[in-house]
Amino acid sequence: MKLCIAEKPSVARDIAKVLGANQSRQGYMEGNGYLVTWTFGHLCTLKEPHDYSPHYKSWDLIFLPIIPKNFGIKLISNPGVEKQFRVIEQLVDQCTEVINCGDAGQEGELIQRWVLQKARCKKPVQRLWISSLTEEAILEGFANLKPAEDYHNLYLAGNARAVGDWLLGINATRLFTRKFGGNRGVLSIGRVQTPTLAMLVQRQKEIDAFNSEEYWELKTVYRAVHFSAAIDRLKTREKAEKGLDYLKQHLFEIVSFEIKEGKEKNPRLFDLTALQVEANRKYGFSAENTLKYIQSLYEKKHTTYPRVDTTYLPDSLYPKIAGIMRAMHFYSDLTAPLLEGGLPKTKAVFDDSKVTDHHAIIPTEVTPGSNLAREEKLIYDLVAKRFIAVFYPECKISNTLVEGKVGTIPFKTNGRQVLEPGWRAVYAKEKVELQDKSRVEAKDEEQEIPEFKAGETGPHKPLVHQGKTTPPKPYTEATLLRAMETAGKQVEDEELRDMLKANGIGRPSTRANIIETLFKRKYIERKKKNIFATRTGMDLIDTIDDEVLKSPELTGEWEYKLRKIESGEYEANVFREELVAMVTDLTRKVISEKARSISFEEVSVPQKKEKIPRKTTVIEWNEISCPKCQQNRLIKGRTAIGCVQHRECGFKIPFVCFGKKLTEKQIHDVVVKGKSGKLKGFTGHPSGITEGFLALGEDGKVELQSR
């Protein structure tokens, strides 16, 4: 029997149906020589620190950095997960070979490998690699199964990513929380989330620091066409008024009139990030929701695999394009001209060198009926129209540039006219046009420009426009996704953006989750479509001095190395060693820094309410010697402050002493000064003493003294 393991029950059912495994069992299906079972995404995860040693339950700085010699995995603690794993474990024992039917990507490979590793699988393993879940694609995939070894580098990259995230996340989070956390709770640090937050904080600071300034511009209207003065903005109203008086004394003269014909390139097919950007721009969908909708469309067989970062198709897909278009009945008015005239094959669409494991997101020949939710229909429409638009001719345009002058002051204006709509015809019914650069251009914003002749003059209507400088725009999810894709560089050009993808922050499939994590931890907040860093998020980034943790460029370099591991050009062990060295250096550096904890409280201030920083003291217990043995350092536990060698030494001061809860400062006074200040509220002293001074006795035990 051959065992197929899919990533989800729904995918397993699709595969089982195609294979003829129609007999339902508990946790799997059987038939025609196949066993078909499933995971629920991740069944396994990397072990936690305390799984390696119980003392790692403590977040004390003396245990950092935590560097396991060998990273282990364990089942996720969940009854459903454990039950399904037992099914898989038994089926692995029964089968003759395993077919890995996980999602065809890095995360899918990692999920399956960990499960098979946990199940101690010794059977031969083959890999099903498909880009859609249609019956044709599944049959073709099973006819072309690959040895699991072909995807070993993919697994190594996924495992290196997980280990890297664990090393940095566990150590940096504990390090900064204990060193600088104060009363703010856990300070969550992540390989991808922290540089992403840093970009948002930097933009927030630019916005907060921006001082708006008034300016004045000279404009005029000649033959119903609006012209702007081609000079620097004027800083004072007086200069503007003088300029206006000057303009009134002279006629308008045309200096040059030029018309250039050009072309607008077709938009690219969607990769996941581009789809998330467009859905956010057009419909306000979050990146996470867009991923959810396109994943659902994929599982319903209407679109191809979505978690991709390429906008190209392989040459081998060209013969299937016409069949897909013929199946798209709802778009027959748009596809008919293409099917009648023949589909072009261009390098802008088909390029094997730009396609690795998967191609761009396109529709399949399985068109949706009435089974889609409204949001899924909108996402499908984006994918379908983009798929059609790339095969239309380029849009031909006419750009007009007119230069003029009034006296010695130069003026100019420009206009744009669509001569042949080409691919824009696909979007003719929409109010705004989608563009290659993901910008909105309303047709009615373009002014019609009549023909002018150089040297002509005439009266005009000058005016002064008053405006204010505006701060940098806040990030939206669309612009944040683009910034993550290009490691913080603001890039409009598609080709340049493609070159920067290898060094982007995170992967297309993880960026939405990173953004949502920042929301959940209240490091960022959404106001309409805009995203802002919260006070908590800004405070966290300000606490981190080390640029390694918050630099988009450096994080992009790590991502580049992970891609190199995937392609077999970089060693996973080397990547791990580099991260271990970085985490070790970071730990030493931060522990040696002076604590600078900041907490925030709401304070009323006349005319404005804001969070005011208040300095508090963080006690570094590991820098204080035990007052009893005088040899070891102190550590902070859950219930007490005590000697690191407590079992031998015996010294400790509990946080609740004689019925009173003590602060760390009060315990610090007892340890360092030998006696606390006068305290009240003791309720559990054997002699009924309710107030007094805590002091250390000769045996190192705490005593309550009434004077």
Degrees to nearest 5, angle at CA 534 with 532 and 537:
110
Beta strands 214-222 and 461-468 are antiparallel
Domain match, 137 and 107 both: yes
Amino acid 552: pLDDT: 82
Q: 149 in a domain, yes or no?
A: no
Q: 108 in a domain, yes or no?
A: yes
Domain match, 385 and 400 both: no
Q: Which of 155, 222, 293, 305 is catalytic?
A: 305
Q: What is the pLDDT of residues 4-13, one digit of tens each?
A: 999 999 999 9
Q: Which residues of 329-343 are buried (b: 16+ CB within 10 A; e: fewer)?
A: eebeebbeebeeeee
Q: Is 378 exposed, middle or buried (0-12, 13-18, 19+ CB in 10 A)?
A: middle
Place of tokens 């789809």: 275
The per-residue pLDDT of the chain, averaged, comes to 88
Which CATH number characterizes residue 493's domain?
A: 1.10.460.10
Domain match, 305 and 366 both: yes
Angstrom distance (rounded) from CA 29 to CA 126: 19
pTM exceeds cut of 0.85: no
Beta strands 34-38 and 28-31 are antiparallel
Mean pLDDT confidence for 649-655 = 85
Domain match, 131 and 12 both: yes
Q: 685 in a domain, yes or no?
A: yes
Amino acid 505: pLDDT: 85
Question: For the chain, how many structural domains are there in total?
Answer: 5
Q: What is the pLDDT of residues 526-552, one digit of tens each?
A: 998 999 999 999 989 998 888 888 888
Domain match, 133 and 7 both: yes
Domain match, 488 and 420 both: no
pLDDT greater at residue 677 or residue 387: 387
Which CATH number characterizes residue 63's domain?
A: 3.40.50.140
Q: 45 in a domain, yes or no?
A: yes
Range of the domain at 336: 272-389
Mean pLDDT confidence for 311-337 = 94
Q: What is the pLDDT of residues 88-125, one digit of tens each?
A: 999 999 999 999 999 988 889 999 999 999 999 999 99
Which CATH number characterizes residue 413's domain?
A: 2.70.20.10
Confidence tier at 496 by pLDDT (50, 70, 90): low
Q: Flag whether pLDDT at 148 surpasses 60.
A: yes
Mean pLDDT confidence for 285-300 = 94
Amino acid 628: pLDDT: 84
Of the three residues 91, 117, 144, the one that is the final residue of a domain is 144
Angstrom distance (rounded) from CA 598 to CA 540: 10
Which CATH number characterizes residue 306's domain?
A: 1.10.290.10
Of the three residues 90, 110, 144, the one that is the final residue of a domain is 144
Q: What is the pLDDT of residues 591-612, one digit of tens each?
A: 887 655 444 333 222 333 333 2
Torsion, Cα 321 326 329 334, to 10 degrees, reads 70
Angstrom distance (rounded) from CA 618 to CA 596: 8
Whether residue 704 contacts residue 682, with contact meaning beta carbons closer than 8 Å, is answered with yes
Whether residue 419 contacts residue 397, with contact meaning beta carbons closer than 8 Å, is answered with yes
Work out whether the CA dihedral 277, 281, 287, 292 comes out positive or negative.
negative
Amino acid 603: pLDDT: 26
Whether residue 649 contacts residue 632, with contact meaning beta carbons closer than 8 Å, is answered with yes
Domain match, 310 and 185 both: no
Q: 600 in a domain, yes or no?
A: no
Domain match, 549 and 662 both: no
Q: 116 in a domain, yes or no?
A: yes
Q: What is the pLDDT of residues 396-444, one digit of tens each?
A: 999 999 999 999 999 999 998 899 999 999 998 774 444 443 333 333 3
Q: Report which DSSP code applies to 625.
A: B
Q: Flag whether pLDDT at 560 surpasses 60.
A: yes
Q: 598 in a domain, yes or no?
A: no
Domain match, 255 and 404 both: yes
> Active-site residue 305, yes or no?
yes
With a CB cutoff of 8 Å and minimum separation 6, the contacts of 579 are 163, 164, 167, 168, 558
Q: 41 in a domain, yes or no?
A: yes
Of the three residues 389, 421, 455, the one that is the final residue of a domain is 389
Domain match, 262 and 285 both: no
Domain match, 416 and 445 both: yes
Amino acid 557: pLDDT: 83
Whether residue 272 contacts residue 320, with contact meaning beta carbons closer than 8 Å, is answered with no
Domain match, 204 and 223 both: no
